[in-house]
Amino acid sequence: MSQEDRRPRSLREVVFVDGVRTPFGKAGPRGIYAETRADDLVVRCIRELLRRNPELPADRVDEVAIAATTQIGDQGLTLGRTAALLAGLPKTVPGYSIDRMCAGAMTAVTTTASGIAFGAYDVAIAGGVEHMGNHPMGEGVDPNPRIISEKLVDPSALVMGSTAENLHDRFPHLTKERADAFALASQQKYAKAVANGQIGPELVTMATRSKENGWGVATVDEPPRPQTTLEGLATLKTPFRPHGHVTAGNAAGLNDGATGCLLAAEDVAQELGLNIGMRLVGYGFAGVEPEVMGIGPVPSTEKALARTGLSIEDIGLFELNEAFAIQVLAFLDHFGIADDDERVNPWGGAIAVGHPLASSGVRLMTQLSRQFAERPDVRYGLTAMCVGLGMGATVIWENPNWEGSTK
| Per-residue pLDDT tens over the stretch 269-311 | 999 999 999 999 999 999 999 999 999 999 999 999 999 999 9
Radius of gyration, CA atoms only, the chain: 20
Q: What are phi and psi of 346, to 5 degrees?
A: -65, -20
Mean per-residue pLDDT, 108-122? 97
Which 8-state DSSP code applies to residue 319?
E
CA distance 346 to 265: 29
pLDDT at site 328: 98
- Which residues are designated catalytic? 102, 355, 386
According to the model, what pLDDT value does residue 141 have?
87
Q: Does residue 407 have a pLDDT over 80?
A: no
Which CATH architecture group holds 14-134+152-397? 3-Layer(aba) Sandwich (3.40)
| pLDDT band, very low/low/confident/very high, at 406 (cuts 50, 70, 90) | low
Give the lowest-confidence range in 29-38, 55-64, 142-151, 228-237.
142-151
The closest alpha carbon to 322, from 342, 300, 352, 293, belongs to: 352
Full-prediction pTM beyond 0.85? yes
**190 Cβ contact list (under 8 Å, min separation 6):** 199, 224, 347, 348, 349, 352, 353
Q: List, in order, residues 6 or more apart from 162 with CB less than 8 Å away.
A: 156, 240, 241
CA distance 84 to 93: 7
* pLDDT tens readout for residues 104-113: 999 999 999 9
Q: Which residues contact 269 (CB under 8 A, 6 or more apart)?
A: 15, 17, 275, 276
Q: Which residues of 240-271 are buried (b: 16+ CB within 10 A; e: fewer)?
A: bbeebbbbbbbbbbbbbbbbbbbbbbbebbee
Other CB atoms within a 10 A radius of the CB of residue 200 amount to 14
Query: What percent of the chain clears pLDDT 90, i.e. is strictly above it?
Result: 89
Mean pLDDT of the chain: 95
pLDDT of residue 6: 65
Buried/exposed code over 141-160 (b: 16+ C-beta within 10 A; e: otherwise): eeeeeeeeeeeeeeebbbeb
The 3-class SS string of 135-148 reads CCCCCCCCCCCHHH
How do residues 45-61 score in pLDDT, each as one tens digit?
999 999 999 999 999 99
Beta strands in 205-254 (DSSP E): 206-210, 214-218
pLDDT in tens, 192-204: 999 999 999 999 9
Could you give the 3-state DSSP secondary structure of residue 14? strand
